[in-house]
Amino acid sequence: MPVTAPRNAADIIVEGRVQGVGYRDFVQRRARHLGAVGYVMNLPNGHVRVRAEGSRENLEQLVRALEKGPPLSRVEKVSVRWLPPTGRFASFDVRFGHGIP
């Protein structure tokens, strides 16, 4: 019987020059590559919010990638809050508009 990695969830806020530089697309590609599900969205204060679910190891890899970001970004701070997974996401999407769902 295969052993599946326990699922985890992270609510991540990224601060810096992360809007208007392809950051959400970068996050979506990286998250999908790592098998994470959830979403990325811009916030009205100029930050980016990432909600991701997947294995702890893959989410930690995602956080490391978020700390670097795409070439035009300048990441100043990444805050991670670990949460229990909801299981409500089937893919990793970009959410448009501003606000917190």
Which of the following is catalytic: 24, 30, 51, 58? 24
Q: Which two tokens stand for residue 49?
A: 């919010």
Residue 59: closest CA among 4, 7, 3? 7
Which residue, 89, 28, 23, is CA-closest to 53?
A: 89
CB of 35 within 8 A of CB of 44?
no
Residue 42 appears among annotated catalytic residues: yes
Q: Which two tokens stand for residue 71?
A: 């070439």
Give the active site residue among 8, 42, 51, 58: 42
Beta strands, E only, 18-97: 37-42, 48-55, 74-83, 92-95
Active site residues: 24, 42
